[in-house]
Structure 1
Amino acid sequence: MAKIRIKDIAEQAGVSVGTVDRVLHNRGEVAEETKTKILEIAKANNYQPNLIARALTSKKRCVFASLLPSPTEEDVFWQSPLDGINNATLELEQFQLKVENFFFEHYDKSDFIKKTEKILELQPEGVIFPPIYKNESKEFATKLEKLGIPFVFLESKIETCNYLAYVGSDGYHGGRVAANLIDFGVADNDDILVLNLAKDLENIHHLKQRTQGFLDYFMDYGKNQGSKITMEIPSTNSMEIQEKLDSILSSNNNIKAIFVTGSKVYKIAQYLIKNQIKNISLIGFDPIDQNIKYLNQGAINFLIGQHPYQQGFKSVKTLFEHVLLNHDIVKDEILPADIITKESYQLNKA
């Protein structure tokens, strides 16, 4: 059956298009008898308003907020989701949509809290953020929920929060993928180093998920029976990395693979090249420029990509469809993980 239009309802009711418009959008005075007749015709024909047209003609500006780590030269990963957010906003600017971008220092919880307070003062109609600090993110999510502000997680999710949607990869299974790749390349009795370049790992949600997935893989059915040594380096300072790795590798010369749970795997590649270590496999996350450089040099064996641009882009589109179009939303949009080698990168680049 063809979709009924306002013009069709007006003809059936014997009134003007303007009168139907006033009734359906609850604007202005219309006689009760006429109003009832119009609504009955609309209901009988399953009339659905054109929400996109309504959003286009609305003069009200809709404001969302995003909260991301500052995309610095060392934290360049976060530039990709930011680009996705900005480009989605540009696509939707005809709908009077604006996204206020807020940034916090990646390793500063107090700065994260400070920026969440600024967002709460703004009271946007939707929020996008990665729940990097689990405890502080849960507190922020609770405050948003109390204010009736929907929020979308990217990069990782906290299951116990009442989030509108999650757009991103599965961190736990990303860790399992990394374990599977390493399992192919090491001997059964080789030891493996699991390296987190972060402090307070228990509260860094996505890194903890990846670590757990990696370790669980070997508990379930990995062929490697060597030790799985976990190490936390609270800084990306080259001198501190040198000192920590010198210590662990000198005391255990059976380590034949390193799994870096984040995107700064290039920091470890620099160490391996500087110290002329060629018998250790290295795997980590994200094809950022610094990592691709060492992938092409052979110092990094595998990278796992998680589509950060799409995470940002789709997060804005999800909020838009929920807030302005009142569409039903897919709660968890899990993006695929890409396994990237030197050869596959060159093939895709060609």
Structure 2
Amino acid sequence: MVKAKIRIKDIAEQAGVSVGTVDRVLHNRGEVAEETKKKILEIATTNNYQPNLIARALTSKKQCIFAALLPTPTEEDIFWRKPLDGISEAAAELSQFQVKVEKFFFTHYDEDDFIQQTNDILKLKPAGVVFPPIFKKESLQFIKKLEKNGIPYVFLEAKIKECNYLAYVGSDGVHGGRVAANIIDCSIPVSGDILIINLAKDLENVHHLNNRTQGFLSYFVEYGNNKGLKISIEIPTSKSTVIKEKLDDILSKNRNIKAIFITGSKVYKIAEYLIKNKLEDIVLVGFDPIEQNIKYLNQGTIKYLIGQHPYQQGFKSVKKLFEHVMLHKPISRDEILPVDIINRESYKL
């Protein structure tokens, strides 16, 4: 038979004191005679008393403010709507506990705007922060200030391992790159060349894309059957004119490219180019089942997409902050979410 959990009322009866006296001892509030205090603590310890943290959080009158920092979810960067939806849903659920999530946005791939938003967050002095460390150098500067002020932070989308982060919720970037490599390895001739496209400037500082590239290349070093060239390029903008110029050049010089791997979510930008240039036999693989990508997945131009549960990343990141800050619960530091391999047929299911 499972032993019932002891309550404050039970401790008070055993100690022969009031419920208020027990409450003062257990929560270290007010003066209580040393002998009485010792007796109450002995009863609580012997019976493995566990406070009702949820009830305590519900009755708290102090507002807890968290900050969430994300790229602005524009039509081109629609991926970021999903983690934002998750953050908003978590905030709505936790509003009963006096929790509020202030949202901050920066222009994607704009380091200066990222820095400005982090400065605004520091002025807010939140109880915790959720953000993707997209720019490694600038994120490290932000993290140093957060840690100096004792503000816990949770990563989503990517993590910087050498930091003292509270938690990370997301897929493993290196693993995601290796999954893409395995798909392509099974889809093209052994002698076919592969083009890796990073739609970003300064790849070394764009943390999550860099990890995926490294994972992709490491697969072929260790296991891959493909013996073709692995050609990696950076395109600093997603403007169609720039993409056309870059791809016209690289494809005219490399006629043996049989697959293209996009390290981010703007796979549709490359799909548009392939259709216009009647190059639909190239195996195109990238990340995220966003609306624009699904269109070309259904048409067959995009062969595979890798999903990484962005909604859950946002939702669970806020929940982890709440559990740590408000409930003082131990939490798992790394919650690695699985990646999904999506093709035209599996998506229709």
Give the TM-score band, short-chain normalised: over 0.9
Matched AA of 2:4: A
| Separation of aligned partners in 2, 1:29 and 1:218 | 68
For 1:236 and 1:213, locate their aligned partners in 2 and report how far apart those are by CA, in whole Å: 23
Q: Give the deviation of 1:56 after TM superposition.
A: 0.4
Q: Quick one: distance in 1 between partners of 2:95 and 2:83?
A: 18
Residues 186-206 of structure 1: CA deviation (Å, up to 9, x unaligned): 111111000000000010000
Give the partner amino acid of 1:134. Answer: K
Tell me the amino acid that sits aligned with residue 206 of structure 1. H
Instruction: List structure 1 segments (4+ residues) > 6 angstroms apart after TM superposition.
Output: none
Q: Corresponding residue for 2:159?
A: 157
> 1:172-194 deviations in whole A, cap 9, x for unaligned?
01000000000111111111000
Aligned pairs, how many? 347
- 1-structure distance, mates of 2:22, 2:331: 30
**Could you say which residue in structure 2 is the equivalent of 1:283?**
285
Residue 342, structure 1, aligned to residue 344, structure 2: yes
- The reply on whether 1:209 has 2:211 as its aligned counterpart is yes
Q: Is the 8 A contact 1:142 1:161 kept in 2?
A: no
User: Aligned partners of 1:77 and 1:335: how far apart in 2?
Assistant: 17
AA in 2 matched with 1:202: E
Partner of 1:314: 316
Aligned-pair distance for 1:142? 1.4
Letter in 1 for 2:260: I
Cα-to-partner distance string for 1:225-271 (whole Å, 9 max, x where unaligned): 00000010001000110111111111111001000000000000001
SS where residue 186 of structure 2 aligns? helix
Using the TM superposition, give the Cα deviation of residue 2 of structure 1 relative to its aligned residue in structure 2, in angstroms: 2.2
TM-score, reference length from structure 2: 0.98
Could you tell me whether the CA contact under 8 Å between 1:321 and 1:327 is conserved in 2? yes
How far apart in 1 are the matches of 2:280 and 2:33?
84
Provide the residue aligned with 2:123 in structure 1: 121
Counterpart in 2 of 1:29? 31
Could you tell me which residue of structure 2 aligns to residue 199 of structure 1? 201
| Structure 2 gap segments, 5+ residues each | none
Aligned residue among 184, 187, 211 for 2:186: 184
Deviates more, 1:141-150 or 1:306-315: 141-150
Q: Which runs of 5+ in 1 are unaligned?
A: none
Which of 164, 168, 171 is the equivalent residue of 2:170?
A: 168
Structure 1-normalised TM-score?
0.97
**1:22 to partner: Cα distance:** 2.2
State the secondary structure of the residue aligned to 1:19: helix
Identity %: 73
Matching of residues 29-108 of structure 1 within 5 Å: 29-108=31-110
Q: Deviations over 1:296-330 (max 9, x none)?
A: 00010000000000000000111111111111111
How many Å separate the matches in 2 of 1:31 and 1:252? Answer: 84
Q: Which amino acid aligns with 2:85?
A: D
The residue type paired with residue 166 of structure 2 is L
